[in-house]
Amino acid sequence: MIVDADGVGITQREAPELTQISVRPREGGLELSTPGRPPLDVNEPHDGPKAFVRVFRHKDPIPARVAESGWIGAFLGREARLVWQADPTVRPISSHAEPDDRVSLADAFPVLLSNEASLSALNDWLVEAGQEPVPMTRFRPNLVVGGAAAWDEDTWLGKRLRIGEMTFRAVSACGRCVVTTTDQETGDRGRQPLRMLGERRRFGTELRFAINLIPYGPMGLIRLGDPVSVVLADS
């Protein structure tokens, strides 16, 4: 996570230029790159300086280690640091969770799942309104499923999903924010698809697209093309 001078996470909500940073994970670290600058190779800072950081300003502080500051700060034009969470067991999930559920430096949940057919339905609405369709990258899911009907994922909430070697609890719909209006290739920001979600997918105060998952049971591998099945209702 990239944090500001106060140790609070910097996101695309305030810094859409973050779309221009590409990240390539490797064993024991990351390589960061962006147009017009030399790439940076960053090791996991097992012995780096410690810091307490917040994913958002209102969240509780959690321990992390500073991985890098110069490259990130120069790119953003302000004081900023790249931090690494050495212990992924320290941050409990705040809602829809069991006592042992944990999340790393994500906004709220460890996994986001989206449905190709739901994106197609949303894009049909956009085209009908004379707007440009949007790619799935606008929603930044971890998992994308195909073969289901549009909005089938709404019916999976409160149930468990088997995907590859893993089982997940489908705990909540995902209320979307302004980041969905940011082109993930250019960083340009518009009004869609958030405005269309407000017209067609408003539930109370939330504009919903995709669902949040929490791993359940033993860890395992998920591979491209794995089947997805609803196995039972969550208790």
One domain, residues 13 and 126:
no
Number of domains in the chain: 2
Q: Residues 192-228: pLDDT tens digits?
A: 999 999 999 999 999 999 999 999 989 999 999 999 9
One domain, residues 64 and 115:
no
Q: DSSP letter at 112?
A: E
Query: Cα angle at 190 between 189 and 196, to 5 degrees?
Result: 135
The pLDDT value recorded for residue 235 is 47
* 92 in a structural domain: no
One domain, residues 58 and 125:
no
One domain, residues 166 and 228:
yes
3-state secondary structure of 40: strand
pTM strictly above 0.85: yes
Residues of the chain with pLDDT > 90: what percent? 84
One domain, residues 126 and 73:
no
The pLDDT value recorded for residue 87 is 80
The pLDDT value recorded for residue 94 is 78
Q: Which domain-ending residue is among 43, 67, 84?
A: 84
One domain, residues 129 and 42:
no
Q: Shortest CA distance to 53 belongs to which of 87, 10, 3, 107?
A: 3
* 101 in a structural domain: no
* 187 in a structural domain: yes
CATH number where 115 lies:
2.40.33.20
* 127 in a structural domain: yes
| Residue 163 belongs to domain spanning | 111-233
The pLDDT value recorded for residue 233 is 65
Q: Say if CB 55 and CB 1 are below 8 A apart.
A: yes
One domain, residues 69 and 120:
no
One domain, residues 61 and 136:
no
* 61 in a structural domain: yes
Which tokens belong to 166? 């893993």
**CA separation (Å) from 18 to 39, 73, 138?**
15, 12, 14
Q: Say if CB 80 and CB 4 are below 8 A apart.
A: yes
Which tokens belong to 165? 């070697």
Stretches where the chain sits below pLDDT 70 are 233-235
One domain, residues 190 and 126:
yes
**CA separation (Å) from 138 to 122, 145, 232?**
12, 16, 30
The pLDDT value recorded for residue 7 is 96
